[in-house]
A and B are shown apart, each in its own frame.
Chain A
């Protein structure tokens, strides 16, 4: 047993532990309860009768936004507590006493947490999409693009939450993620006013809104052109790479 553990084994085992955490803690059930409330609302609306196609679209938009918000919020809390909890409870010690690399542990946690968020989002989105009647025309290709960018957004947010939790206290990490997720776009606009230097600085502020095509989809607008989609995918990938690198860097030299 004096050889390194295969990466696949590390990723699968860490993934299983994160999965157990996800399904046995309360956060997921809060999301499912929100979904249940939404479904009850839709059920009542369908009995009473949806008066216009625009109302149907509004409900669909609300449901898809709810699915997105629940998955992202769940992910922030799940990702931001991974390393701080391990350190507080000292479970990081027996974990790192195994023949695994620190950088692999960061990658394994990030992938596992992200996968959990993606699965939750997929489940919520599917239930919402099936339950709401489609009274207007929407573009299927844009739904696929929206889903793809949401997956990127979830991967990005989990990498950000993990990185922040390794640099700052957990509460601050959650707060910063919340600020960037909900207000990144507004913050960018606020800073980019007037001076070119401010415009340049603002481009470094994470803007998750760029990866959210929900309203575009429910407004019935056409799918994105290939080069626009690629640009957004590229933006997401660069952001993910930056935060994963930062998390690995922070944890590599951390004194435990």
Chain B
């Protein structure tokens, strides 16, 4: 059997020192398979970003193991096949959009010639085709987010990890992004993203992971959740699930 693209096995991540530790992620396990589009949803502070940062090697698991493409998560080799979008980044104000993509594309191993061919197309795809020579200090939050998406797709990685995918995007930006993700999905790429936009998750994902207070409380296919939630919709289903979990804990 082929190895999962993402394999998380009983990882916990804690913050703090000297006895005042907070468990942001508590013994979670899940997998993401090749070609899947998986949504990762939860309330603020539920542990979404912590999990994603652990997969990228920005944070270290206190126990358990996370692997990406069969390699320990966070190693340079595992990152070479990932396109990552952080939760709201303000890119270098002294750079132009083209220069930023040259930097990130180059660091992903793309040769100069290929970059020169790709950058205009990628900027066009995220709706920044006309802005390649403008300094980023003049970019709005939404434009920065589009640029963030551009830097994540420039090297055509096999796996996309997006933290708060639609953050800061206007309706047109969201529409563009949705089309882009559908195209990526159609080419067999694996996508794993966190979002608060449940309609986005419903429209794009094959499967949903729901995290609450650091624990995975549901891992199900969208079709299963739709059938289970009935006419309530995913949003109401999510709210009910969170309330039920709270009640169980109390």
List chain A positions with a Cβ less than 8 A from chain B: 1-5, 9-10, 13, 16-17, 20-21, 24-25, 89-91, 93-101, 253, 255-256
Q: How far is the CA of A17 from the CA of B15 in the complex (A)?
A: 32
Contacts of B83 in A (CB 8 A): 97
- Residue B237 lies at the interface, judged by CB distance under 8 Å to chain A: no
Give B18 Cβ to nearest chain A Cβ, in Å: 16
Contacts of A2 in B (CB 8 A): 69, 77, 80-81
Q: Cβ of A3 and Cβ of B103 under 8 Å apart?
A: no
Evaluate whether A25 and B107 lie within 8 angstroms (CB atoms) in the complex, with A98-B79, A255-B58 already known. Answer: no
Q: Cβ of B109 and Cβ of A5 under 8 Å apart?
A: yes
Q: Would you mind naming 30 contact pairs between A and B with Cβ atoms under 8 Å apart?
A: A1-B81, A2-B69, A3-B80, A5-B76, A5-B80, A5-B107, A5-B109, A9-B107, A13-B107, A20-B99, A21-B94, A24-B135, A90-B90, A91-B91, A93-B58, A94-B85, A94-B89, A94-B151, A95-B104, A96-B56, A96-B58, A97-B82, A97-B84, A97-B86, A98-B108, A99-B77, A99-B79, A253-B60, A255-B59, A256-B53
Q: Cβ of B89 and Cβ of A93 under 8 Å apart?
A: yes
Contacts of A99 in B (CB 8 A): 76-77, 79-80, 107-109
- Residue B92 lies at the interface, judged by CB distance under 8 Å to chain A: yes
Closest to A90 in B: B89
Give A161 Cβ to nearest chain B Cβ, in Å: 19
Contacts of B87 in A (CB 8 A): 90
Near A by CB (< 8 A), chain B positions 140-164 give 148, 151-152, 155, 157
Q: How far is the CA of A97 from the CA of B82 in the complex (A)?
A: 7
Q: Cβ of B152 and Cβ of A94 under 8 Å apart?
A: yes
Q: Cβ of B95 and Cβ of A89 under 8 Å apart?
A: no
Give A29 Cβ to nearest chain B Cβ, in Å: 13
Q: Cβ of A13 and Cβ of B151 under 8 Å apart?
A: no
- Residue B57 lies at the interface, judged by CB distance under 8 Å to chain A: yes
Give B190 Cβ to nearest chain A Cβ, in Å: 15
Give B81 Cβ to nearest chain A Cβ, in Å: 6
Give A255 Cβ to nearest chain B Cβ, in Å: 5
Contacts of B234 in A (CB 8 A): none
Please count the residue pairs between chain A and chain B whose beta carbons lie under 8 angstroms apart in the complex: 104
Q: Cβ of B58 and Cβ of A98 under 8 Å apart?
A: no
Q: Cβ of B58 and Cβ of A91 under 8 Å apart?
A: no
Q: How many B residues have CB within 8 A of the partner chain?
A: 40
In this complex, the member of B60, B91, B104, B109 whose beta carbon has the largest number of chain A beta carbons within 10 angstroms is: B109
- Residue B88 lies at the interface, judged by CB distance under 8 Å to chain A: yes
Q: Cβ of B107 and Cβ of A95 under 8 Å apart?
A: yes
Give B26 Cβ to nearest chain A Cβ, in Å: 17
Closest to B58 in A: A256
Q: How far is the CA of A183 from the CA of B142 in the complex (A)?
A: 47
Contacts of A9 in B (CB 8 A): 106-107, 109
Evaluate whether A90 and B80 lie within 8 angstroms (CB atoms) in the complex, with A9-B107, A20-B99, A256-B59 already known. Answer: no
Evaluate whether A91 and B92 lie within 8 angstroms (CB atoms) in the complex, with A9-B106, A20-B99 already known. Answer: yes
In this complex, the member of A3, A9, A96 whose beta carbon has the largest number of chain B beta carbons within 10 angstroms is: A96
Give B117 Cβ to nearest chain A Cβ, in Å: 17
Q: Cβ of A20 and Cβ of B95 under 8 Å apart?
A: yes
Contacts of A4 in B (CB 8 A): 76-77, 80
Evaluate whether A100 and B95 lie within 8 angstroms (CB atoms) in the complex, with A5-B107, A91-B90 already known. Answer: no
Q: How far is the CA of A256 from the CA of B59 in the complex (A)?
A: 6
Q: Cβ of A89 and Cβ of B90 under 8 Å apart?
A: yes
Evaluate whether A16 and B56 lie within 8 angstroms (CB atoms) in the complex, with A1-B81, A2-B80 already known. Answer: no
Evaluate whether A21 and B109 lie within 8 angstroms (CB atoms) in the complex, with A97-B84, A99-B77 already known. Answer: no
Q: How far is the CA of A151 from the CA of B67 in the complex (A)?
A: 44
With A20-B99, A255-B58 given, name 18 new contacts (CB 8 A). A1-B108, A2-B77, A2-B80, A4-B77, A4-B80, A5-B80, A5-B109, A16-B103, A90-B90, A91-B90, A93-B58, A93-B84, A93-B89, A97-B83, A98-B104, A99-B76, A255-B59, A256-B59
Give B195 Cβ to nearest chain A Cβ, in Å: 17
Q: How far is the CA of A5 from the CA of B60 in the complex (A)?
A: 23
For the complex of A and B, 7 pairs with smallest distance between CB atoms: A99-B80, A97-B84, A93-B86, A98-B107, A24-B94, A256-B58, A90-B89
Contacts of A20 in B (CB 8 A): 92, 94-95, 99
Contact with A along B97-119 (1 / 0, CB 8 A): 00100111011110000000000
Q: Cβ of B92 and Cβ of A17 under 8 Å apart?
A: yes
Contacts of B57 in A (CB 8 A): 96
Contacts of A13 in B (CB 8 A): 102-103, 106-107
Q: How far is the CA of A3 from the CA of B71 in the complex (A)?
A: 12
Q: How far is the CA of A99 from the CA of B58 in the complex (A)?
A: 13
